[in-house]
Structure formats: structure tokens, C-alpha cells
Structure 1
Amino acid sequence: MALTALELCSRALLRLGAPPIASLEEGTAEAEIAAGLYAGARDALLSSHPWSFATGQATLARLQAPPVADFAFAFQLPAGFLRALSAGRGVAYRLLEDRLHTDAPQVALSYVFRPDEAAFPPFFAAALVARLAAEFCIPLTENTARAQLLMQQAEGELRAARRADSQQATVQAIGGFPLVSVRG
């Protein structure tokens, strides 16, 4: 089932025992808190792990103006960029503002991006709802003990989501490890 930001926030509010919202702009305390905290919590969770559904690759466009110092070339980062994973095998780079600086004349960037909420798999949506409930707790209830409990639950959901996501790729075999070759 494809979810929206509104549905994710409403689910988090329901976990707190608060009424769901019909719009992020409806003017209620719940809507204002959801609107103010949602994007930051979503992006923090997305950038915390190289999620398979939010990882992409792109050949970056080189900018005409070279960097001022350190590297020879500057490249424009893609829209929705959240976190770099690599700029190619063995390529040294640095991120500055919305650019990638490197000495390589071409860059194939592997990165985490911000996908549409409809692309969130159920395991990630559950982790995000749990995290949102923890984030919304103090502003709505002023109950720090409950917020700590909800944050612990959110961490558990995040571990489960990472585990589910990591099972969506072939396990890499250990190769060239000296202790394995000694066994004969």
C-alpha cells in the first residue's frame, strides 16, 4: 500500500493516542508538529543506512568552474541527494555545498536519495512511523519517559528494517582472506 507523508504522520499520531490529521496545514497542534518535524525525521532515517529502495547511481555533470583548492574538478550533485556512498572505485572526493570535488575527470556516484513516500517498503514505513511517534511525543505530551520508551521502540524497528533491507541482495563471499586459504 502506497503511503503519503500525511498517512505516515497520522499513523504516528495514532501511536501516541492523538487524533489523526486530515492535512498537514489544518492548523491544529498535531498538524503543526507533524509538518515541522516530518521532513527532518524522514531524511535522517533515509540517510542513516544505504537502503536498497533509496540508493541510486548517476554519472554526474561536471561544472565549468574548477574548485578553488584541493581538487581539479567539481560536479553537480543530483536532485534529492542525501548521502554519498562512493564516487567510483578508489576515487578520492570531498562534498562541499551541493558539489562533489575530485581529481577524477568523470564520476559515477553511488548515493542515497530521497524517494517518494509511495516507494517506501513496509519495513521502512514501520520504522519511520515509530521514529515519528517518538519525535512527536514530547511536543504533544511533554512526557519524557514515554518519549524515551518510544525512542527505544523506534530503534528496534530500525534494526528490524535494516535487517530486512540487507536481505535483499546476494551475500558477498569472503575472497582472498589469508585465514581461509591456510585451511587448505
Structure 2
Amino acid sequence: MTEDEATIINYALTDIGAGPMFSIDDDSELAEQIQYVWQPVVDRTFGMHYWSFARKTFRNERLAATPENGFSYGFTLPPGRIGNPLKYSADPRCRSPIRDFTLEAGQLYCDHPDTWSLCRVYVSPTVWPPEWRAAFITALGAYLAVPVWQDRQMRDDMLVEAFGTTSRDGTGGVFGRLMAQDAASQPVGDPQTWDDPLSNARFNSARDHWAGRYAE
């Protein structure tokens, strides 16, 4: 754990009324419980959406052996990613999504000799947007309420504030608003659809002659 992460924990502890009591050098039982809480909150918050500040494009490493599953090439997927990549592409700008592929044993197989993956990754608190950091502190505070105060009502109230009610399946609250804002800040249209003729009809200009591209 880094000093930056410890600072976020102390923000959350202060938010629930315990004060900045955590240190990365603390070996107390409570400090150990607090550290165990950190990773589940990271997993939940980073895994719930492809946050634009936590994406990264990787070039996939091609396997030397010829695949036995019928595809021409196999690739290892980037280590350290969170979940499966958002998309696989035949170009580094991820503008040409690969549609014919398979995933087997954590590896990518397709007929393209070079591939890239757009992945969700963990990034340091130093680059978290302020509004996202505030939401994370609320979520972390909810997870800390029981080990620190044995207060389940505080936990439940803060979970609703962070993620919304159970009827929203964890997509409401402040994180739900941030997901909507993050999605709205992206280019019009999903890049995964830009090579689809119907999407091109809507999003591309007439100068692209989109219909002719698919007339062959």
C-alpha cells in the first residue's frame, strides 16, 4: 500500500467520524482489517464501468505456436488488467474492432497477425478525478463502518449513497451519475460500431461514402 492510498483511507475514516487513524506502518488488528477492506472496494468501483481515466491500450504479445483451434494466430492478453478487455482491435487506435475471435484459457485467438486490447486498469489515486475520488471515499467509508464502528446502518446508508438502492443493481447513487457523465464525455457513437454500416450511416458524414464501403 502506498502513502497516497493511505491518505484516501484516512479521508474515508474521517468521513465516518473516526479521524485519520491509519498508517501504512501500523500493524494493529484494526489496521489489518482496514487494509483487507481496500481491495474489495477497488475491485467493485474499478470493475463497474470502463472509466475513461482508467483505460489503457496494449499491444498483445503473439504466441509462437500455431493455434489448434482453427484460427491463424494466438495472443496473450495484457497482465494487470481488470476483467476482459473492452475490445480487441487490428490497429493501435482501436478503431477497427475485431469481431471474429475467441477467448480460450485467457488467450485471444483470431486471424489478424497483430492485435491490440483496450483494457481497464488500476491507476494510482494521484490521477483519480476529484469527483471520482469523493465517490470512492464514500464507498470506502461504507465498507469501513462495520470493522471500525460495528455500525451496519451506517454501512447500508453509505452504500445507497455510493451505489444506489438494490433496485438499481449497483448502478445508482453518486457512481451511477459519474458513469453517465463519463459515458457522455466519450465520442458520439461507440467506437466498436464505427465499422458497422448502420452505425456509419448515422455517425459518418456523406463524404465518407459509407454505403459504398459495404457494397462490394
TM range (shorter): 0.7 to 0.9
CA contact (8 A) 2:10 2:21 kept: yes
162, 182, 194: which one aligns with 1:154: 162
1:100 matched to 2:107? The reply is: yes
Equivalent residue for 1:76?
76
Alignment deviations for residues 71-119 of structure 1 (CA, whole Å, 9 cap, x no partner): 66442332431131011221423263xx422123332111111112211
Q: Equivalent residue of 1:56, what SS?
A: strand
Q: Equivalent residue of 1:21, what SS?
A: coil
Equivalent residue for 1:125?
133
Structure 1 residue 164: Cα displacement: 3.0
Structure 1 residue 149: Cα displacement: 0.5
Percentage identity across aligned positions? 21
Distance 2:18 2:110 in 1: 53
CA contact (8 A) 2:30 2:147 kept: no
For structure 2, the residue ranges without an aligned partner over 5 or more in a row are 90-96, 164-172, 191-198, 203-216
Equivalent residue for 2:212?
none
Q: 1:141 to 1:106 in 2, by over 3 A?
A: same
Structure 1 residue 19: Cα displacement: 2.4
Distance 1:137 1:149 in 2: 10
Distance 1:163 1:34 in 2: 30
For structure 1, the residue ranges without an aligned partner over 5 or more in a row are 178-184
Q: Equivalent residue of 1:12, what SS?
A: helix
- TM-score for the superposition, normalised by structure 1: 0.80
Distance 2:125 2:114 in 1: 31
Q: Equivalent residue of 1:35, what SS?
A: helix
CA contact (8 A) 1:126 1:157 kept: no
CA contact (8 A) 2:77 2:108 kept: no
Letter in 2 for 1:54: A
Structure 1 residue 133: Cα displacement: 0.8
Distance 1:16 1:33 in 2: 16
Task: Tell which structure's C-alpha radius of gyration is larger.
Answer: 2
- TM-score for the superposition, normalised by structure 2: 0.69
Higher RCO (CA < 8 A, seq sep 6+)? 1
Q: 1:27 to 1:169 in 2, by over 3 A?
A: same
Equivalent residue for 1:169?
186
How do 1:5-84 and structure 2 match up within 5 A? 5-65=5-65, 73-83=73-83, 84=85
Structure 1 residue 136: Cα displacement: 1.0
Equivalent residue for 1:138?
146
